[in-house]
Structure 1
Amino acid sequence: MKIVVFGATGGTGRETVTLGLAAGHHVTAVVRRPEALQARPGLQIVVVPDLANAEMVDDVVGGRDVVISALGTNARGPVSVCTDGVRSILGSMTRTGVRRLIVVSAHGAAESNDGSLYARSLWAMLGHKMRDKDEMEELIRASTVDWTIVRPPALRNKPHTGVYRVGTDLKIRLTSAISRADLADFLLREATTPAFLHQAPRIAA
């Protein structure tokens, strides 16, 4: 399967690239800087300094089977990385005819902002980033692509186990977490065997 990963240099993106290659997929990693990832067999590294460049994004999206977005930022204050990036990705998918989109969001975004202690705490700490995810999700839901929005709780740098729980009504608690490697495992599983088309599943260990 031909998979393109946006946000390939972040924690989840790197794990997605690694597991995707291990599974035998042809992976295209979109990066801002050529030195951001190490070359490996089966990996195509494409430098796109600005996702607003429609021609460059079209070139990496066109001909792929699945687009995975793990876009994010460590910046403080108001941000629009996820919204702007996904807007560009959706435009390219429309122009190139690619249908399948899997996007990492966060539990607490959109209707999963359920007033729970987890959601309230997340918004108190990361409100700017959560607003970005809200706007990103709105764009995705309004699109015509075959999307899945994945909503993890806290992300950990722990080994890949392949053991986790997934569901649209999964209970997320203040202590809930998932490793980036296991999140990547699910992204790839959903890419190859879609089980949550036009849904926003939650995932936790």
Structure 2
Amino acid sequence: MKLAIFAATGGIGRHVLDQALAAGHDVTAVVRNPQKLLSTQARVVVADLAVAEPAALQVAVEGVDAVLSGLGARSKSEAGVAWQGTRAITSAMRTAGVRRIVVVSAASIGTVPSPDRPRPPRHDPGDGFFTRHLVVPVIKKVLREHYADLARMEDVLHDSGLDWTVVRPPRLTDRPLTGTYRTAYGQNLRRGITVARADVAHCMLRALDQPETTKQTVGVAN
């Protein structure tokens, strides 16, 4: 399969890249800083998703079967890159006739207001009492700008007309790949507190072979 991987040097993107190459896929890695790439097997396209680069993005997605994105703000000052970058990516995909995209978001986003969902559900149906009333309120306050960015990114996908999948992990760890993580459609996982970045990457790649994940949010946790 021909894949374009955005933010391929990020915490999750680098695992997506390594696993995709190991599986024998033909990969284009889209990165801001190519010096951070540890692998030389992928075709590399340099693009800064914080600014619109339609020509570079068009080159990256032309002829691919699917796009995977680990795009997200690394600091408060970068908040906005997820939705703006995803808007540019999906625009390039439509122009190129590419329909399939899988992105990573975050477990709490289903309860975060956005322009298209100003009154989301108060609680995620998969969260237990402790998570709902203690963990989530604190995290949403600390990461308010990041979560607003991701919520708006999901709006972009819903409005794109493309075949999207959103993977929503809880707290990320650097534990090794297990391949035995749990998933749930449209909600978080009960007692799903953490998940390895490598497992999130595995889940994203696996979604490409699961048509039932199209236009779905997928909760994932170890």
Task: State the TM-score bracket (shorter-chain normalisation).
Answer: over 0.9
Q: What amino acid does structure 2 have at the position aligned with 1:49?
A: D
Identity %: 36
Alignment CA distance shift 1:110-1:129 (3 Å): same
| Residue 111 of structure 1, CA deviation | 4.1
Paired with 1:53 and 1:18, the residues of 2 have a C-alpha distance of 25
> In the alignment, what sits opposite 2:28?
28
> In the alignment, what sits opposite 2:210?
193
Give the counterpart of 1:171 among 185, 189, 192: 189
| Unmatched runs of 5 consecutive residues or more in structure 1 | none
Q: Give me the TM-score of the superposition, normalised by structure 1.
A: 0.92
Paired with 2:181 and 2:39, the residues of 1 have a C-alpha distance of 30
Cα deviation, 1:95-153, whole Å, max 9, x if unaligned, reads 00000010101111134764413321221110000000111111111111000111100
| Unmatched runs of 5 consecutive residues or more in structure 2 | 113-120, 124-131
| Residue 78 of structure 1, CA deviation | 6.8
| Residue 64 of structure 1, CA deviation | 0.5
Aligned residue for 2:148, secondary structure, equals helix
Moved more, 187-196 or 125-134: 187-196
RMSD, aligned CA? 1.7
Paired with 2:188 and 2:140, the residues of 1 have a C-alpha distance of 19
Q: What amino acid does structure 1 have at the position aligned with 2:95?
A: R
Aligned residue for 1:200, secondary structure, equals strand
| Residue 77 of structure 1, CA deviation | 4.7
Q: Give me the TM-score of the superposition, normalised by structure 2.
A: 0.86
Paired with 2:84 and 2:219, the residues of 1 have a C-alpha distance of 23
CA contact (8 A) 1:108 1:114 kept: no
Give the counterpart of 1:145 among 146, 149, 162: 162
Aligned residue for 1:189, secondary structure, equals helix
Aligned residue for 1:138, secondary structure, equals helix
> In the alignment, what sits opposite 2:3?
3
